[in-house]
Amino acid sequence: MTANSLRKRQRVAQHHISSTATIIQTFPDKTMSESSQKLRRASSSSTTATSTNPNTTTSSFNDPSTADVILRLFMEHSPFDSASPLDSADQSDIQIYLHSHVINRSKYFAALLSDRWQHEKITDRNNNAAEDSRSDDNFNLIHLNLGVLDNPNSITIHLTVFQLLYTNDFATVIDSASTALEILPVALEILFEDCVKSCVKFLEAVPWSEEEEKRVLSLIPFLHEEESKELLARVSLGKDDSCEEMLHGLILEAIHSHPNMAFVKAFVAKLLRDFSLRESARRVLEREFEKSLKIVKESLEEYSSPDFRGDHNETEAIQRLNLHTAMTNGRHLFWLVERMIELRVADSAVKEWSEQAAFTADLQRAFRDDAWRNFVPGLPAVLLRCTCKLANAVATGTIIAARQVRMKLVKDWLPVLNVCKDNVSPMLPSHKTLYLELEETFLRIISTLPMSDAQVLLRQCLSFSTRNVEDCPHLVTAFNTWFRRATQPPQLENLD
């Protein structure tokens, strides 16, 4: 046992035993109350240990005929306990008969029964022999006191541990995590190493409830480093970024690898909602968002500016691959955007989305071409859904975006919406609903901008108009609002 680990063990013993003033002493039998004589004894044949005495082959737990140690177990009551001593005597003060060669398995009792202690005890008895009225047999017994914590099961648990001193059948007694957690503190208290090892080994192998885990964590500081290694490995990775690594791996599984993608996405979304470390979730989502956006942008850039120097069929295959890559990662982007908005951590995503002048230019060129319709007809809708989600979060105040971010978001993505409306045909009902929602959202954002910026952007919204003016009330309202504001008298003088 190393010096550090020994100190760990000693802390447990001091915590419980030293405070109870456990000492070797001789106390008259008449001081034991009647209730303490009504001992809850195990059957003398149920728990035995092989004796080192050549004249005795076995020793039984709580056997007064062969014992050489009497241990008084008493419950230490708090001074604030309202129960009277008479009320609690039956349950809190008992004596048991033990054998010194057996309880020597406990390092604590081995120390108490060492030659030095024995010499002091014998000297004290010789000095008081003339006054001692006890029989010779009782005089030769070693008397110990042991106070235990004032808990309902303390006496019972201590008796169980003392019985285990007489047997190696730990597997029969330690049959659940809760039992191991009840026995382990007592085993640590009396430095019963074999019992400690059995409890720890059992706890390593079985599941714990949340409450049991808390109890395990409270006991780990009192274990040797080697004993606590496996227990610690279960509850701690020892790395500060372990949660982020786990979340990142789950997100990758959800959007890339797992065959039941829809179910896994829903489950990971719930984990993210319930995850308490919001900043860790933000960092993981932002990292994957930037990665997916980069892939979409590169794929669309290569599609919009192809290299025609190779074979025509080869070029077409590359173009098809670029579109499919953009479509796949566009779907990933949409799921990530939903999660970020749900967790209210989409600030950086909105800013990034508003700074895509080159990307939106590539999209406009791509969507004016007819080739993409045969390969990825849903690509425009996927990217516009991402835009709509982010723009809606800005318009509703879920994300507080700066004026410049709001303006650039509309300025860069409004032309993409117009190109999709003009070139994507036939227009599906779901697409029509998406376009209308994005139109209304852009107009609401425009209403938050300075009059000069709104004036420029509203002109680009004329494509929102329909054959029947009554079918575009959102556009009518936006222009009416701008003109109402424009015709108001200047308000600068009212600020003085």
Q: Domain containing 161 — which CATH number? A: 3.30.710.10
Q: Has residue 126 got a pLDDT over 50?
A: no
Same domain, 429 and 361: yes
Same domain, 245 and 172: no
- Domain assignment of residue 37, yes or no: no
Q: What would the mean pLDDT of 39-43 be, rounded to a whole number?
A: 32
Q: Has residue 86 got a pLDDT over 70?
A: no
Name the helix (H) or strand (E) containing 98: strand 93-98
- Domain assignment of residue 60, yes or no: no
Q: What is the pLDDT of residue 37?
A: 32
CA distance 407 to 493: 28
Q: Has residue 209 got a pLDDT over 60?
A: yes
User: If pLDDT is split at 50, 70 and 90, which confidence band does 319 have?
Assistant: confident
Same domain, 286 and 389: yes
- Domain assignment of residue 135, yes or no: no
CA distance 62 to 45: 10
Same domain, 335 and 413: yes
Rounded to a whole number of angstroms, the distance between the first and last alpha carbons of the chain is 82
Same domain, 266 and 175: no
CA distance 301 to 74: 82
Q: Which residues contact 44 (CB under 8 A, 6 or more apart)?
A: 60, 61, 62, 63
Q: What is the pLDDT of residue 89?
A: 45
Task: Name the burial class of residue 240, with classes exposed (0-12), middle (13-18) and buried (19+) by CB atoms within 10 angstroms of its CB.
Answer: exposed
**For 142-159, what is each residue's pLDDT tens digit?**
888 888 887 778 889 999
Q: What would the mean pLDDT of 247-254 be, rounded to a whole number?
A: 91
- Domain assignment of residue 48, yes or no: no
Same domain, 371 and 482: yes
Q: What is the pLDDT of residue 7?
A: 40
Domain count, the chain: 2
Amino acid identity at 453: D
> Which is more confidently placed, 128 or 202?
202
- Domain assignment of residue 159, yes or no: yes
Same domain, 375 and 281: yes
User: If pLDDT is split at 50, 70 and 90, which confidence band does 463 have?
Assistant: confident
Q: Has residue 73 got a pLDDT over 60?
A: yes
Q: What is the pLDDT of residue 17?
A: 41
Q: Has residue 248 got a pLDDT over 80?
A: yes
Q: What is the pLDDT of residue 20?
A: 35
Q: What is the pLDDT of residue 1?
A: 43
168-206 burial, b at 16+ Cβ within 10 Å, e below that, comes to: eebeebbeebeebbbbbbbbbbbbbbebbebbbebbeee
Question: Residues 51, 58: contact at Cβ < 8 Å?
Answer: yes
User: If pLDDT is split at 50, 70 and 90, which confidence band does 34 have?
Assistant: very low
Q: What would the mean pLDDT of 20-25 be, rounded to a whole number?
A: 38
- Domain of residue 149 covers 69-76+91-122+140-234
> Which is more confidently placed, 175 or 304?
175
Least confident of 136-145, 335-344, 397-406: 136-145
Same domain, 227 and 260: no
Looking at 199, 215, 234, which one is the last position of a domain? 234
Same domain, 261 and 277: yes
Least confident of 134-143, 404-413, 432-441: 134-143
Same domain, 319 and 410: yes
- Domain assignment of residue 132, yes or no: no
Amino acid identity at 44: S
- Domain assignment of residue 62, yes or no: no
Same domain, 216 and 359: no
Measured from the Cβ of residue 135, the count of other Cβ atoms closer than 10 Å reads: 10
- Domain assignment of residue 442, yes or no: yes
Least confident of 52-66, 125-139, 167-181, 359-373: 125-139
Same domain, 342 and 245: yes
Q: What is the pLDDT of residue 245?
A: 87
> Which is more confidently placed, 139 or 62?
62
User: If pLDDT is split at 50, 70 and 90, which confidence band does 464 have?
Assistant: confident
Looking at 234, 265, 292, which one is the last position of a domain? 234
Q: What is the pLDDT of residue 47?
A: 55
User: What is the share, in percent, of the chain residues with pLDDT greater than 70?
Assistant: 75
Q: What is the pLDDT of residue 57?
A: 46
CA distance 382 to 327: 8
Looking at 234, 260, 275, which one is the last position of a domain? 234
Return the closest-CA partner of residue 338 out of 273, 294, 278, 403: 273
Q: What is the pLDDT of residue 36?
A: 32
Q: What is the pLDDT of residue 131?
A: 42
CA 254, 255, 256, 260 dihedral sign is positive
Q: Has residue 274 got a pLDDT over 70?
A: yes
Q: What is the pLDDT of residue 81?
A: 53
Q: What is the pLDDT of residue 293?
A: 96
Question: Residues 61, 185: contact at Cβ < 8 Å?
Answer: no
What is the C-alpha R_g of the chain?
40
**Average pLDDT in the chain:** 80
Q: Which residues contact 118 (CB under 8 A, 6 or more apart)?
A: none
> Which is more confidently placed, 388 or 431?
388
Q: Which residues contact 285 (CB under 8 A, 6 or more apart)?
A: 251, 272, 336, 339, 340, 343, 345
Q: Which residues contact 160 (CB under 8 A, 6 or more apart)?
A: 173, 183
> Which is more confidently placed, 438 or 118?
438
Per-residue DSSP letter, 345: -
